[in-house]
Amino acid sequence: MTHRYFGTDGVRGRVGKSPMTVDFALRLASAAARVLSPAGGRVLIGKDTRLSGYMFESALEAGFVAAGVDVMLIGPLPTPGIAYMTQRLDASFGVVISASHNSYEDNGIKFFDSTGSKLSDEVERRIEQFIDEPVVTRQSQSLGRATRIDRSRTQYQEFCASTIPQGMDLRGFKLVVDCANGAGYKVAPRVLADLGAEIVPIGCSPNGRNINDSCGSTAPELLQLTVPGVRAHVGLALDGDGDRVVMIDGLGRIVDGDQLLFILANARQADGTLKGPVVGTVMSNLGLEQSLASRGIAFRRAQVGDRHVLAMLNATGGNLGGETSGHILCLDKTTTGDGLISALQVLAVMKRTGASLAELAAPMPKYPQVLLNVSVERGFDPSCEPQVQEAIGRVEQRFGGRGRIVLRASGTEPVIRVMVEGHDATLVKNGAREIAAVVEAAAKER
């Protein structure tokens, strides 16, 4: 049985179009209350900085209160902050209103259970079974209450700061912090400044429409210019909901999620805290796998998506994994991917070793890799298209066994992601373009 509304990370889409409408949010809240807290309880609702967040916040609040669930509204806070605070406040479940790295025209709704973990597929299916049912409205004496608890975000800030070694601070570091005009715009600069770092903030002035707009982890070009321009040691860029981070070294070069994972794995192996294999994804650079293998560190690949990485870590007893995008899971520190906490772990390695970010990342070579997005109609499957498979075969033959090709449907957008990686940059670039063109042509023919 497949999901009707839930994707790889909650419900997401263009605001005003199904399913991202006020009516749907109201029905979703009512359905979720039936499944996650049928006897009442409390829900924590947080959001990023999108203009439409106010609208969906009100709709969800109405649906939960009508179903007899007390609502705590914490305002803009990173997704991992909601996961942490759901558990900290002993809520029955938590809700995040965010479309992560997408533009402000999109929005989404995702859930955490009482432990701060994402819902299982089975629980999401049970919620979907009630979405088309009439909205529940209890009698007046059984309605829920709504309370704003904005000041509670300081508890999350204190938790983030506690994840670096006791007694350590960040004095002596000059950091440029790009919060993508998103959910981390308050907490990230405050945490880093409280730890003693000199902060240069950019992307910290949200207006409801500029989230992820030429800033943040998906567009770090301004950060790359700013870091060497102000002679900072490091730059860090979160995405709109704060669960991803990429970093910039002192010369303005990107250090992506694969490189950050290498740095953390190397450091944890050295201090004896690394458990199980490191888990990446099918998109992780081959250089990461080879570099870890040369150090005797096991590496496993999961399907793309933090829930798949988490599932493999749990199955193998690992405590460190992540994606090229910068979605890093440090399970010895927190339950979910957290961009700020991941950055703090890297900064702690720099502080302890005295090495620069560039020096820590240098031992990991990166194979040339190209990722192209091809717009398609939802449901298009390139594995069922003979011409696409023929194109893949042609490109693979040119690599002679020294490259990788991965095609996958995005879980958040109607696109096919074409990833080509290999030893020769020209072959990689030309191969990606060739396959993407065939995918585009096949999609138009359908």
Residues 160 and 191 in one domain: yes
| CATH number of 295's domain | 3.40.120.10
Strand partners, 13: 107
Contacts of 28 (CB under 8 A, 6+ apart): 5, 11, 19, 60, 63, 109, 127, 131
Q: What is the mean pLDDT of the segment spanning 93-97?
A: 98
Do 210 and 101 belong to one domain? no
- 163 and 225, same domain (yes or no): yes
Q: Residue 414: what pLDDT?
A: 85
Quickly tell me which residue has 């059984």 as its tokens: 142
Residue 127 located in a structural domain: yes
208 and 321 belong to one structural domain: no
Tokens standing for 251? 């010369």
Residues 17 and 138 grouped into a single domain = yes
Pairing of strands 198-202, 174-178: parallel
Q: Which two tokens stand for residue 276?
A: 């199980």
H-state helical runs in 354-424: 357-361, 386-399
CA–CA separation, 59 and 209 (whole Å): 20
Residue 425 within a domain:
yes
Residue 316 sits in the same domain as residue 430: no
- As a whole number, mean pLDDT of residues 92-112 equals 96
Model confidence over 127-137: pLDDT tens digits? 999 999 999 99
Q: In the predicted model, is pLDDT for residue 363 greater than 60?
A: yes
Name the band, by pLDDT with cuts 50, 70 and 90, for residue 438: very high
Give 40-52 pLDDT, tens digit per residue.
999 999 999 999 9
The whole-model pTM stands at 0.91
Report the relative pairing of strands 11-14 and 106-112 from DSSP bridges: antiparallel
Q: Which of 211, 236, 253 is the last residue of a domain?
A: 253
As for how many domains the chain has, the answer is 4
Q: What is the mean pLDDT of the chain?
A: 95
**CATH at 395:** 3.30.310.50
Catalytic residue among 100, 291, 325, 342: 100
Residue 160 lies in a domain: yes
In a domain, 193, yes or no: yes
Residue recorded with tokens 């089975």: 122
Tens-place pLDDT, residues 320-354: 999 999 999 999 999 899 999 999 999 999 999 99
* Segment 285-296 mean pLDDT: 95
Give the number of other Cβ atoms within 10 Å of residue 90's Cβ.
10
Q: Which of 235, 253, 271 is the last residue of a domain?
A: 253
Same domain assignment for residues 127 and 248 = no
Q: How far is CA 221 from CA 79, 208, 214, 218, 224, in A?
A: 24, 21, 8, 9, 5
Q: Are residues 48 and 148 in the same domain?
A: yes
Does residue 199 carry a pLDDT above 90? yes
**Is residue 310 in a domain?**
yes
The answer to whether residues 146 and 15 belong to one domain is yes
Q: What is the pLDDT of residue 136?
A: 95
Domain holding 77, by residue range, is 11-153
Q: 367 falls in which pLDDT band (50, 70, 90)?
A: very high
* Among candidate residues 296, 324, 341, the one where a domain is terminated: 341
Residue 155 has a pLDDT of: 97
Report residue 80 CA to chain centroid gap: 9
How many percent of the chain have pLDDT more than 90?
Answer: 91
pLDDT, residue 419, reads: 94
Residue 412 clears pLDDT 80, i.e. is over it: no
Decide if 6 is inside a domain.
no
Given pLDDT bands bounded at 50, 70 and 90, which one contains residue 413? confident
183 shares a domain with 145: no
Co-location of 21 and 136 in the same domain: yes
In this prediction, residue 314 carries a pLDDT of 95
Measured over the CA atoms of residue 76, residue 254, residue 9 and residue 328, the dihedral's sign is: negative
d(CA 268, CA 367): 24
Does residue 100 have an active-site annotation?
A: yes
In a domain, 16, yes or no: yes
Question: How would you classify residue 289: left for phi > 0, otherwise alpha for psi between -120 and 50, otherwise beta?
Answer: alpha
Diameter of the chain by CA atoms? 72
- Rounded to an integer, the average pLDDT of 46-68 is 98
Residue 213 lies in a domain: yes
Cα atoms in the Cβ-side hemisphere of radius 13 Å centred on 163: 24
Q: pLDDT tens across 13-26, in order?
A: 999 999 999 999 99
Where does the pLDDT of residue 96 fall: very low under 50, low under 70, confident under 90, or very high at 90 and above?
very high
Instruction: Tell whether 69 and 120 lie within a shared domain.
Output: yes
